Amino acid sequence: MAIRELKVCLLGDTGVGKSSIVCRFVQDHFDHNISPTIGASFLTKTVSCGNELHKFLIWDTAGQERFHSLAPMYYRGSAAAVIVYDITKLDSFQTLKKWVKELKEHGPEDIVVAIAGNKNDLGDIREVPTKDAKEFAESIAAIFIETSARNAVNVEELFQSISRQIPPLENTDVDSNESFKITRQPLPSSRRCC
Amino acid sequence: MATDASLKPCQMDRSSSFFKLIDTFSTEISELKQEMVQTAREPDTKLLQGLEGEVSGLFLQSSVCTGAAGVRDSGYDSLGRRISVLDRLTHTHPVWLLLPLNDEEAKRILQPQPPGTFLVRRSSKLQKKVISMRMDTDSSPVTVRDFPVTESQYTFSLEGSGISFADLFRLVAFCCISRDVLPFTLKLPGAISAAKTTTDLEEVAKLGIRFWDSKLCQKKKSSVPDGSAVQQGVKQAGQRRSLGDNLTPVPRTRTPSQLECSQSNGALCFINPLFLQTHRSEPASTEIVTSAASGDNCALSHSSSSSTQVKSHTRPQSILRRAISKEYARNNGVNRGESLSRSPPPRPPPPRTIPSRPAVPIKQKSMPETGVSWIKMPQEKTGLLGRLSSSFSSLTLSPSSLSLSSPIPMPSCHGSRASSIPDAEGQLCHLALEDQIIEQAVSQSLAKQALRNAALESRSPAEEGSPIGRERLSDISISTSSSDSLDYTPSFTLPAAASPSRADSSLEEEDDDGVGVESDQELSIEPPFKPKKRHSAGTFVLPRALKGHLRKVSGVFNSLMTPEKRAVKRIVEQSQNKSTYFGCLVQDYMSFMHENCSCHESGLELLQTVRQFMTQMKSYLLQSSELNPPIESLIPEDQIDQVLEKAMHKCILKPLKPVVEAALHNFQVSSGVWQQLKENLALAKTKQPQEMGVDGAMPPDPVAIEKIRQKFHNMSKMYSPEKKVSLLLRVCKLIYTIMEDNSGRMYGADDFLPMLTYVLAQCDMPELDTEIQYMMELLDPSLLHGEGGYYLTSAYGAMSLIKNFQEEQAARVLSSETHNTLHQWHRRRTAQRSTPSVDDFQNYLRVALQEPDSGCTAKTLQVRPYATTEEVCQLCAEKFKVHDPDNHALFLLTEESTQQLAPDTHPQKIKAELHSRPQIQAFYFIYRRIQNRSLTAPADEFNGNSVPV
């Protein structure tokens, strides 16, 4: 089975639980055969999808404003971006909208965008209604899911839906060597100006 | 292989012993087969001729065949038997290694061939390399069967077989000797297996795939040797016999368990268990004399040596020194009781000692003389197994006497060409294969008999005096590092079953001999096992069946040179060899970079051109046939890119590193970046972790910072971007550890990136900026999405923040410069370049001559990277035979414009710039008449606006 490496970028305000979601995703059903990464900022996990194996290379970003300008380096070449907000913090949802805008303008063209409303377990202090977020996600054709990294709710599902949205390799009889390469590289386009 | 080996004996010989074993196996088998067939048919006259050859061969052997004979005596090349199967395969791979061949073509080629004929190709169906083999139609329903080759990391093996080989050639060579999982052994086409010289082989190789349809192939298929071939064969046989008679080493093979013994520092040699099985069932032969110390025993009556004949070849036996020293020990009484308790094998009559026909050619007179020296030498050296290495080196002056007289059953150095090389290095250990095995493999008892007769006929009285009894000494020879003997683990025991007859016979012999004392010494001298690291060429062969045995010595595997290393080494050697096109390209680029490093606009551009060059060279190596043998046959497919990348680092980055570093630094200094960086670093260093965005996590203390600085310092010494990145990863790991140790929780980028920024500021190493640039631009782009790429990106980001610390503090924005850099980096990563073609390379420039009457004629000219337009014009005038060069000039034609190039511009540089644009547009270099403004320029028909510069 061909393994495709898919770069996935994690965006979102600091403290919304970006790394918690990924840690949960990677550490549940931990595969001891895979050499662990040195830290939680970059994690990998392989899942099977149809007749392909998707190896997610998950690039975490620093959510603080001062690191915002570095984000393009992290999301370029990504097959998917997971934008995380905290359902108990309206601000984080506003930041999410900024990220969506930036990705639209500067991100890879066919990047799969997933919106994850984290801390679903804290529903009683919710500030962002599910409906609003869902509508927003639909408006931009993004995956939407509410997760709880703490309770391991919907974390697996989040990445599975990303996997499903990744178009299979057009060329199935392509040389196996090729299949290791990311095929979704953005074309250099004049509208990028970062 | 042979050429390589002879070029780089010291590098190649040590570890390729296994393959030499195979070489010799196959050489000997095929040759013996031929010889036997031929001698069987030949009348006496031929035999006499053969004898003459034998004598001269012997003469050659004793006087010339010294340790290095194989290397320096090209005369040996002329003898077919000098060419091993591996060499034959290597030389003729264009014939049988036809990777792109499809099923039908393979079938068409193999159909008319005899069973066993084979091709190696890549099956599109299986997506694997396969050995396509012509089957025996009597027993098989299909004419051609494909046997898939499994390529695991660094090894090649047949599917279903437990024996792995470092490369395809060795796998095929092995399959030519041992069928392993195949229904029978592979057979080389007659023209290849019978070729006597490498020139013959090259002739065959030149034909490539056409060989199969050529007369050469058809003719040889008949396999009826012509007269000269027969003669040659007889000669060879004769030579071999005479050698055997006089040199009397013990041909024998090693059992796996014995082989294992050699592991500490020797070759990794295995014999297919199947193979052993086959031979075990072989009936006892009377032919083999296994006197271990026959060399020493020259003075002994031949009956004594004949008494050592092996009766039952329960297995191929080892001649490992360990085994030998054991034997010595026994002979010395150390293990006497044990050895004595075992009854020596019956002594069949020596096959060749009895001169039924004392036809003594005149030259044979020389024999006893040499024989004398052989006798003498051993007296000193006998049994000095532990000291063999020293004796070997001391013996390089007269290696023949050494190998001939050595008490170990050591065949003379006249094995394969390759195997004789180590002699020159004073490193030789021969593995002799028992005739039994060879004969069994050949399975022609009739021919065997004939051979023996021939041997008997050729015996001379002089020879009889010497311990004889075997017809071939170098039947199988394997060379390993001589230090093998020093490194045997005492704990290694020789399984009794493995070498009973061997031990017994040598015991007997040596008791007679009185060599015991010395072997005693030798034993005591033998140092304890020391796991010496080997850095020379190595071979990684791992039959699963033997894994258990090998566990003891598994440490050795780590130190063996992997095929990867060998491939890298080969490419690096080629890159330094200006007689290859690849070498030219690399060396020209090197000199260009050394002279013109500063002609680049920026450090970034410099690094990008270096990266581009490396990428081009990689694809050149893949596309061209210059790597001989093709890399696909050496390295499993999914490893090739990685291996090429490593080779590029070694042959391009390693020599360029100082130049590039200096240039990068100069760019920084001249652009003021260096000063700015230093100031900002100093400022950032004064900041508290919190001011750098660290929130909560514990920062490293000054001791840890110092440790990190040290790591960074080490990092800057590396030339390979990958190694640098791995050191960067270690730094990051250390930072994580410190953070996590203090809290016990995992940290994502929210915490890590600020911490990394803080740490970089604390390290206060402005040179890290160019280090990071170097890594980012030169790292294999395929690694940029992985962990290395991630932390490199983070380090780059952190450094950018520090670099702009003042501005960041003021405006919290990155300078536009950083944005530009990021953008450029992005572009490099994402620009999808088409694979470069030959004329993209730095040395070639395709120039079209445009003439008003005859249109365009294009030529690809060799233009050095820094050649000026003026020089190119001169070249064009010469190549296009232009009569009025003064009126011609070089123009660059693009979609939008035509520009005349100024005489001092560099066309190659212009080309490189055009190539590095994100959107490559078509461009051409046109050499044409300068337009006279008053005339209608013919070029304007081509492209309207000409803009003379």
Q: Are residues B629 and B663 in the same domain?
A: yes
Any idea what DSSP says for residue B289?
B
- Nearest CB neighbour to A72, from listed B785, B794, B822: B822
Decide if B309 contacts B345 (C-beta within 8 A).
yes
Decide if A24 contacts A45 (C-beta within 8 A).
no
**Which pair of tokens denotes residue B34?**
């031929």
Q: Do B733 and A39 touch (CB under 8 A)?
A: yes
CATH code of A22's domain: 3.40.50.300
Instruction: Compute the distance between CA of residue B647 and CA of residue B583 in angstroms, rounded to an integer.
Output: 13
Q: Do A176 and B127 touch (CB under 8 A)?
A: yes
Domain count, chain B: 4
Range of the domain at A67: 3-165
pLDDT at position B453: 52
Question: Which is more confidently placed, B477 or A25?
Answer: A25
Compute the average pLDDT of residues A22-50: 80
Quick check: is B410 in a domain? no
Is residue B697 scored above 50 in pLDDT?
A: yes
Q: What share of chain A is helix, strand, coil (3-state, %, to 5)?
A: 35, 25, 40
Instruction: Compute the distance between CA of residue B458 and CA of residue B357 in angstroms, rounded to an integer.
Output: 7
**Which pair of tokens denotes residue A170?**
């057009």
List b or e across B888-909, with b for residues whose CB sees 16 or more CB atoms inside 10 angstroms.
bbbbbbeeeebbbbeeebbbbb
Decide if B663 contacts B606 (C-beta within 8 A).
yes
- B898 in helix, strand or coil? strand
CATH code of B162's domain: 3.30.505.10
Q: Are residues B583 and B650 in the same domain?
A: yes
Sheet with A42-49, side-by-side order of all strands: A42-49, A52-60, A2-11, A80-86, A112-118, A143-146
- Nearest CB neighbour to B787, from listed A38, A182, A187: A38
Is residue B500 scored above 60 in pLDDT?
A: no
**Which pair of tokens denotes residue A166?**
């990744």
Instruction: Compute the distance between CA of residue B275 and CA of residue B182 in angstroms, rounded to an integer.
Output: 12
Residues of B in contact with A41 (CB under 8 A): 747-749, 752-753, 790-791, 794
Distances in Å between the Cα of B231 and the Cα atoms of B217, B361, B633, B704, B783 are: 21, 16, 36, 78, 60
pLDDT at position B297: 40
Give the chain A residue whose CA is nearest to the CA of B823.
A194
Any idea what DSSP says for residue B187?
B
Cα of first residue to Cα of last residue in chain A, in angstroms, is 37
Q: What is the pLDDT of residues B235-278, one digit of tens each?
A: 444 444 443 344 334 334 444 444 333 333 333 444 444 444 44
- Give the H or E element holding residue B123: strand B118-123
Quick check: is B388 in a domain? no
Instruction: Compute the distance between CA of residue B813 and CA of residue B858 in angstroms, rounded to an integer.
Output: 52
Return the closest-CA partner of residue B36 out of B349, B453, B477.
B453
Quick check: is B803 in a domain? yes
Instruction: Could you list the beta-strand ranges (E) of chain A.
Output: 2-11, 42-49, 52-60, 80-86, 112-118, 143-146
Q: Do B736 and A38 touch (CB under 8 A)?
A: yes
Instruction: Compute the distance between CA of residue B540 and CA of residue B564 in angstroms, rounded to an integer.
Output: 10
Return the closest-CA partner of residue A184 out of A11, A2, A5, A42.
A5
pLDDT at position B196: 81
Per-residue DSSP letters for B413-482? TTS-HHHHHHHHTT-----PPPHHHHHHHHT-HHHHHHHHHHHHHH--HHHHHS----S-S-SS-----T
**β-strands B898-900, B888-894 pairing:** antiparallel
Decide if B736 contacts A38 (C-beta within 8 A).
yes
Radius of gyration of chain A, Cα coordinates, nearest whole angstrom? 16
Residue in B794, B825, B921 to test binding to A, most A beta-carbons within 10 Å: B794
Decide if A158 contacts A82 (C-beta within 8 A).
yes
Backbone φ and ψ for A35, nearest 5 degrees, come out as -65, 130
Quick check: is B74 in a domain? no
Q: Are residues B714 and B620 in the same domain?
A: no
- Nearest CB neighbour to A66, from listed B784, B794, B812: B812
Return the closest-CA partner of residue B549 out of B847, B193, B258, B119.
B258
pLDDT at position B798: 93
Q: Do A62 and B693 touch (CB under 8 A)?
A: yes
**Which pair of tokens denotes residue A180?**
């290791």
Decide if B873 contacts B922 (C-beta within 8 A).
no
Return the closest-CA partner of residue A107 out of A194, A5, A165, A47.
A194
Backbone φ and ψ for B883, nearest 5 degrees, come out as -85, -30
Distances in Å between the Cα of B696 and the Cα atoms of A18, B449, B704, B708 are: 17, 89, 18, 21
**β-strands A2-11, A80-86 pairing:** parallel
Min Cα–Cα distance to chain B from A177, Å: 6
Q: What is the pLDDT of residues B620-656, one digit of tens each?
A: 888 877 777 778 777 888 888 888 999 999 999 999 9
Q: Are residues B738 and B810 in the same domain?
A: yes
Quick check: is B794 in a domain? yes
**Which pair of tokens denotes residue B664?**
């990068």
Residues of B in contact with A7 (CB under 8 A): 785
List b or e across B596-606, with b for residues whose CB sees 16 or more CB atoms inside 10 angstroms.
bbeebebbbbb
Residue in B750, B785, B800, B804 to test binding to A, most A beta-carbons within 10 Å: B750
Quick check: is A119 in a domain? yes
Quick check: is B205 in a domain? no
Q: Are residues B859 and B782 in the same domain?
A: no
Contacts A–B by Cβ distance under 8 A: 135
Min Cα–Cα distance to chain A from B821, Å: 9
Residues of A in contact with B830 (CB under 8 A): 76-77, 185-188
Q: Are residues B697 and B651 in the same domain?
A: no
Q: Do A77 and B784 touch (CB under 8 A)?
A: yes
Q: Do B826 and A76 touch (CB under 8 A)?
A: yes
Residues of A in contact with B641 (CB under 8 A): 177
pLDDT at position B83: 78
- Residue B901 identity: L
Any idea what DSSP says for residue B97?
B
Q: Are residues B689 and B803 in the same domain?
A: yes
Residues of B in contact with A23 (CB under 8 A): 746, 748
Q: Do B814 and A69 touch (CB under 8 A)?
A: yes
Residues of A in contact with B835 (CB under 8 A): none
Sign of CA dihedral B741, B743, B747, B753: negative
pLDDT at position B714: 94
Domain count, chain A: 1
Q: Do B753 and A41 touch (CB under 8 A)?
A: yes
Quick check: is B941 in a domain? no
Q: What's the complex ipTM?
A: 0.88
Residues of A in contact with B812 (CB under 8 A): 65-66
CATH code of B815's domain: 1.20.1050.80
Residues of A in contact with B796 (CB under 8 A): 73
Residues of A in contact with B127 (CB under 8 A): 176
List b or e across B525-541, with b for residues whose CB sees 16 or more CB atoms inside 10 angstroms.
ebeebeeeebebbbbbb
CATH code of B912's domain: 3.10.20.90
Give the chain A residue whose CA is nearest to the CA of B736.
A39
Q: What is the pLDDT of residues B181-205, one digit of tens each?
A: 788 888 888 888 888 888 888 888 8
**β-strands A112-118, A52-60 pairing:** unpaired
Range of the domain at B873: 844-929
Q: What is the pLDDT of residues B156-171, one digit of tens each?
A: 888 887 777 777 888 8
- pLDDT band for position B727 (cuts 50, 70, 90): very high
Instruction: Compute the distance between CA of residue B737 and CA of residue B744 in angstroms, rounded to an integer.
Output: 9
Residue in B692, B695, B785, B816 to test binding to A, most A beta-carbons within 10 Å: B785
- pLDDT band for position B735 (cuts 50, 70, 90): very high
Residues of B in contact with A19 (CB under 8 A): 746-750
pLDDT at position A147: 94
- pLDDT band for position B491 (cuts 50, 70, 90): very low
Quick check: is A190 in a domain? no
Quick check: is A175 in a domain? no
Length of chain A in terms of residues written: 194
Residue after which a domain boundary falls, among B802, B832, B862: B832
Q: Which residue has the tokens 């066993």?
A: B116
Q: Which residue has the tokens 């393994």?
A: A3
Residue in A4, A22, A57, A60 to test binding to B, most B beta-carbons within 10 Å: A60
Give the chain B residue whose CA is nearest to the CA of A175.
B127
**Residues above pLDDT 90, as percent of chain A:** 56
Quick check: is B162 in a domain? yes
Which residues have C-beta within 8 Å of that of residue B885, sequence separation ≥ 6? B873, B874, B876, B877
Compute the average pLDDT of residues B811-840: 46
Q: What is the pLDDT of residues B858-886, one digit of tens each?
A: 777 777 767 888 888 888 888 888 888 88
Any idea what DSSP says for residue B653?
I
Chain-centroid distance, C-alpha B140: 36
Instruction: Compute the distance between CA of residue B413 and CA of residue B287 in angstroms, rounded to an integer.
Output: 22
Distances in Å between the Cα of B186 and the Cα atoms of B30, B115, B121 are: 12, 8, 15
Residue in A34, A75, A76 to test binding to B, most B beta-carbons within 10 Å: A76
Instruction: Compute the distance between CA of residue A86 and CA of residue A89 in angstroms, rounded to an integer.
Output: 5
Residues β-bridged to residue B165: B156
pLDDT at position B513: 38
Backbone φ and ψ for B635, nearest 5 degrees, come out as -125, 130
Is residue B490 scored above 90 in pLDDT?
A: no
Instruction: Compute the distance between CA of residue B101 and CA of residue B116 in angstroms, rounded to an integer.
Output: 18
Q: Are residues B126 and B159 in the same domain?
A: yes
Q: Are residues B909 and B796 in the same domain?
A: no
Is residue B752 scored above 70 in pLDDT?
A: yes
Residue after which a domain boundary falls, among B803, B832, B861: B832
Quick check: is A151 in a domain? yes
Q: Are residues B585 and B622 in the same domain?
A: yes
Q: Do B823 and A182 touch (CB under 8 A)?
A: no
Min Cα–Cα distance to chain A from B891, Å: 29
- pLDDT band for position B918 (cuts 50, 70, 90): low
Residue in A10, A37, A41 to test binding to B, most B beta-carbons within 10 Å: A41
Min Cα–Cα distance to chain A from B935, Å: 41
Q: Do B825 and A77 touch (CB under 8 A)?
A: no
Instruction: Compute the distance between CA of residue B814 and CA of residue B797 in angstroms, rounded to an integer.
Output: 10
* Max mean pLDDT range (A115-119, B424-428, B631-635): A115-119
Q: What is the pLDDT of residues B343-392, one digit of tens each?
A: 444 444 444 434 444 444 444 443 444 333 343 443 344 343 434 433 33
Sign of CA dihedral B336, B349, B299, B405: negative
Is residue B706 scored above 70 in pLDDT?
A: yes
Instruction: Compute the distance between CA of residue B70 and CA of residue B24 in angstroms, rounded to an integer.
Output: 14
- Give the H or E element holding residue B941: helix B939-942
Min Cα–Cα distance to chain A from B307, Å: 58
Residue after which a domain boundary falls, among B801, B832, B863: B832
CB-facing half-sphere around the CA of B637: CA atoms within 13 A: 14
- pLDDT band for position B837 (cuts 50, 70, 90): very low
Q: What is the pLDDT of residues B792-812, one digit of tens each?
A: 999 999 998 888 877 655 554
Q: Are residues B793 and B856 in the same domain?
A: no
Which residues have C-beta within 8 Å of that of residue B164, sequence separation ≥ 6? B152, B155, B156, B157, B540, B541, B542, B543
Q: What share of chain B is helix, strand, coil (3-state, %, to 5)?
A: 60, 5, 35
